[in-house]
Amino acid sequence: MRSIELTANHRYLHCVNFEPESAAKATIVVASALGVKQRFYQPVAKWLSKQGYRVITFDYYGIGQSVDKPLKQINSSITDWAELDITTVIDYAQSCQNGEPLIWLAHSLGGQIVAMAHNSDKIDKMVTIASGTGYWLKASQQVRRTAWLLWYFAVPIATPLAGYFPGKRLNMVGDMPAAAMKEWSRWCRSKDYLFDNITAEQQACYDTFKAPIHAFNVTDDELLQRSNIENLLSHYPNADKVLEDLSPNMTQNNRIGHFSFFRSQFKDSLWQEHLLSALQLS
């Protein structure tokens, strides 16, 4: 496990590289969900490195360890995370490769925005976990009951006061740069999520994304419904796609939810029996 500091486009990114003991079967980049720090994914990263994969985790600029100044001074949107940060991380991943494939292992947001990276064509396969569009009125019942408080009160009031979104204090999402939170709020209030808010050039990036996608829908996801996953996949029209359901009865646990797939309690069930096969390139 080795920490890497990347500086490009006047931004600071902290990555961690998990090298296997022998030649890597593939290089895997783990792309985080919104507001989730890369350290949350260390259990699966360490496990995958023991299975023979090189694994790279990272924090988007303004999240976790990718903070080089007070958060109120970091002006970064989610689109910047895609076009600048992901591009930089893919460049770094390529510099580590020795001819093996590059796999994008994405949780939630990580599978929504990757196509906007200028070098996303270098990805050989994408595997997504609980990654779908997020229009709040088409999300889960739990989201529909509570999201209005976030979008119409917490974001417009707390963000200007703090100079960033103080999600940790509010127990909502986590601390985020103001521009990123405002953009996500706009997406979640739009019927087709981010796809109602991107340019024709950005849309073309989704149209030309051709890496095969293996998407996992978590049946007890408290945030997204299966239709959210299907809708996101429809915006990758030229990629071969597989959608697989994961349910708690596949494990010895009563719950998976939106986040717990990446916890080590699932290494002998979901990781061993489903993730490893999804990572294979046919």
pLDDT at 225: 93
Does residue 248 surpass a pLDDT of 90? yes
What's the rounded mean pLDDT across residues 152-173?
A: 90
**What are 267-271's contacts with CB under 8 Å, separation 24+?**
267/43, 267/44, 267/47, 270/246, 271/44, 271/47
- So what's the pLDDT on residue 261? 97
The answer as to whether 185 is a domain residue is no
The per-residue pLDDT for range 140-158, each reduced to its tens digit, is: 777 777 777 887 888 899 9
| Domain-embedded: residue 70 | yes
Q: Is residue 172 part of a domain?
A: no
pLDDT of residue 145: 75
What's the number of domains the chain is made of?
Answer: 1
pLDDT one-digit tens code per residue, 57-107 = 999 999 999 999 999 999 999 999 999 999 999 999 999 999 999 999 999
- Domain at 260, CATH number: 3.40.50.1820
| Residue 15 near residue 56, CB atoms below 8 Å | yes
User: Who's near 42: CB < 8 A, 6+ residues apart?
Assistant: 16, 57
Average pLDDT over residues 231-249: 98
Structural domain includes residue 75? yes
Share of the chain above pLDDT 90, in %: 86
| Structural domain harbouring 118 | 2-134+200-278
Q: What is the pLDDT of residue 58?
A: 98
What mean pLDDT comes out for the span 175-202?
96
Q: Are 214 and 278 in contact (CB under 8 A)?
A: yes
In a domain, 249, yes or no: yes
User: Is 91 part of any domain?
Assistant: yes
Within a domain: residue 125? yes
For the whole prediction, is pTM greater than 0.85? yes
Residue 190 in domain? no
